[in-house]
Structure 1
Amino acid sequence: MRAIEITEPGGPEVLEWHEVPDPEVGRGDVLIDVTASAVNRADVLQRQGFYDPPPGTSPYPGLEASGVVAEVGADVEQFKPGDAVCALLGGGGYAERVAVPWQQVMPVPDRVSPREAAGLPEVACTVWSNVFMIGRLRKGETLLVHGGASGIGTFAVQLAKALGSHVVATVGSAEKAERVKELGADEVINYREESFADKVRADVILDIMGAKYLAGNVKALRTGGRLVIIGLQGGRKAELDLGAMLAKRASVHATGLRSRPVEEKGVIVRSVVDNVWPLVGAGAVRPVVHAEVPMADAAQAHRLLDSGEHVGKILLVR
């Protein structure tokens, strides 16, 4: 098969479309003929040499994919050849084929095309597990989403709104603000012009920035608030005001998805299928696709992500 290889750590130009060995299919694996994958920030970090794949997973980038089941392992009863599926991956989505544990495979939801489905697994599992399973966001509460125009952000805005929350999002431009409002955000803050910490009081905050936003996030939390950090774009280390946390009876969670054991990912995936897929099928939540780029031109897709000009997901299609 062919796949995108990272020839050395560096810029987008190190992504090359090569002939590589076919994946091995274990007893509990599903082999997928890939229709599309999607670009995530973690892929950029892997390309730069800062985020190696977990042991035992594919060395090729790509944390999600959609396609058709080509083969199943001897112990797999949940899927069969010919099924239209999408999957949460530890790696390997930028390829013609990928083998994945069956626990991380999902049917393509209704109202979603085979290509669009490639942009759902990572965002759906990330948002559901962090905002709802960990953050315990409830109907009527306020969610603050940083990076509201990103793939994660556009999904979080829609899902929280569909489940009855008040949604506030931060963005970096007036154009992105309009797009995020169209997705259902009740309030949008341009972080280049205003301080979110002075304007918002949130029950749950979904944060991709880390250190840079820590103090502001703590200030923005309501009593009993939950801050969930899923990214470190603003740095790794900052001072945490424990006095402020105590006064608010607040909590901070820092989580990752890629390195979790298969069993934990499986719990999240099944919960997404049960709770999120019906909303997607009903049209209440939809994939937001900024661009489709041929998989062999993954370098161009990474340049687009690096530019920060996108809204939603960038897909790699075959």
Structure 2
Amino acid sequence: MLAARLHTWNTTPDLEETAPPGPPREGEVTVEVEAAAVTHLDLTVMTGTFTHRPALPFTPGTAGVGTVVEGDAALLGRRVLVRGGGVGLERDGTWSERVAVPVGATRAVPQEADAALAATCYSPMTTAWAAVKAVGRIAKGERVLVTGAAGAVGSLCVQLAARAGAYVVAAVRDEGAAGAVLDTAHEVLVRPAAEDIAIDGEVDVLLDTVGGDTVPGFLSAMRPGGRAVLIGYVAGTTLRVDLPTLMSRDVALLPMNMVRRAVPAEVFDRLLRDLTEGRLTLRTTVLPFARIAEAVETRRKGGGRGTLAVLM
């Protein structure tokens, strides 16, 4: 079978013919992979500097969709999402035509769901849901600013905040990104300053998918007593904030931690149905598995919008 194997840290994996996984052990199943996600987490693991540092050679891939072909009789033939259980972190992952995974790392996926979409949607979809509902607690009539609104998480934050009845301002980095934002946003602003955002009213909730010093730059546009949800850090991992300004604005900083936060299965199922039936939209770039090296480089360089998957 074909698998992408990483032999040296911080390089691109090689596509190789390898032996298929042996018979699944107790509590495991073998999944024939249809599509696998290529994520920032995968790239972080491949640096060799992450908390999880599997032994080399190693097959990356923390998420994918496929069909159970060996193992638990009750699961045979079932189409599943593979995610969790150390897959792609502590054991070989989904960048392979077949992968052995713990039963607990599988979740049923409808047959009608697009494979690439289902393989890549879990993280952005559940993160956006938690940012809007569980952490941001966005209510009808509130004014919400979403940074990085053309990205996977950002675009879903826009849609879910609008669904919650909020007035949504989408902030993007350039005109090209502005064209990628769905018409669910009430306003789309390119590289806005705080004064641009506050023209029509102060912001109740900031959903920041960008990181770095984004929040301090927008504090003056926020309503005293507002909330800033810290979701991502692609623009920088350090937040420098003037404490007197933060205190005078009385804005709560609310960090997202999706490792500790459990998302109910019914929430995932409902959101996936919404994506499958077109009530939510997530832009997904798809490449054949033979072009896994190109997919990795695309993700490293920040190319493409939304999620990225390879099809087997």
Query: Taking structure 1 as reference, are residues 116 and 211 closer, same or farther at Cα in structure 2, changes over 3 Å only?
Result: closer
Which residue of structure 2 aligns with residue 61 of structure 1? 60
Which residue of structure 1 aligns with residue 14 of structure 2? 16
Question: Deviations 1:109-162 (Å, cap 9, x if unpaired)?
Answer: 586322321121121122222332222222333332222222222322223333
The separation in 1 between residues aligned to 2:226 and 2:22, in whole angstroms, is: 44
The separation in 2 between residues aligned to 1:16 and 1:215, in whole angstroms, is: 42
Task: Count residues in correspondence.
Answer: 301
1:317 is the counterpart of 2:302 = no
The percent identity for this pair of structures is 29
The separation in 1 between residues aligned to 2:22 and 2:196, in whole angstroms, is: 51
* Residues 195-204 or 123-132, more deviating: 195-204
Query: Taking structure 1 as reference, are residues 307 and 61 closer, same or farther at Cα in structure 2, changes over 3 Å only?
Result: same
- Aligned-residue offset at 1:277: 3.3
- Aligned-residue offset at 1:35: 0.7
The separation in 1 between residues aligned to 2:207 and 2:234, in whole angstroms, is: 13
Which residue of structure 1 aligns with residue 47 of structure 2? 48
1:165 is the counterpart of 2:160 = no
| Letter aligned with residue 268 of structure 1 | V
The separation in 1 between residues aligned to 2:223 and 2:103, in whole angstroms, is: 40
The separation in 1 between residues aligned to 2:137 and 2:105, in whole angstroms, is: 23
1:86 is the counterpart of 2:86 = no
Contact 2:138 2:164 in 1 (8 A): no
Which residue of structure 1 aligns with residue 193 of structure 2? 195
Contact 2:172 2:178 in 1 (8 A): yes
Moved >6 Å (runs of 4+): none
Q: Which runs of 5+ in 1 are unaligned?
A: none
Q: Which runs of 5+ in 2 are unaligned?
A: none
The separation in 2 between residues aligned to 1:203 and 1:47, in whole angstroms, is: 38
Which residue of structure 2 aligns with residue 237 of structure 1? 238
- Aligned-residue offset at 1:197: 6.4
The separation in 2 between residues aligned to 1:67 and 1:109, in whole angstroms, is: 11
The separation in 1 between residues aligned to 2:280 and 2:271, in whole angstroms, is: 8
Which residue of structure 2 aligns with residue 151 of structure 1? 152
Query: Taking structure 1 as reference, are residues 243 and 73 closer, same or farther at Cα in structure 2, changes over 3 Å only?
Result: farther
What secondary structure does 1:211 align onto? coil
Which residue of structure 2 aligns with residue 304 of structure 1? 298
Query: 1:256-267 alignment to 2 at 5 Å?
Result: 256-257=257-258, 260=259, 267=262
The separation in 2 between residues aligned to 1:133 and 1:54, in whole angstroms, is: 31
The separation in 2 between residues aligned to 1:163 and 1:54, in whole angstroms, is: 40
Which residue of structure 2 aligns with residue 186 of structure 1? 186
The separation in 2 between residues aligned to 1:65 and 1:152, in whole angstroms, is: 18
The separation in 1 between residues aligned to 2:217 and 2:63, in whole angstroms, is: 32
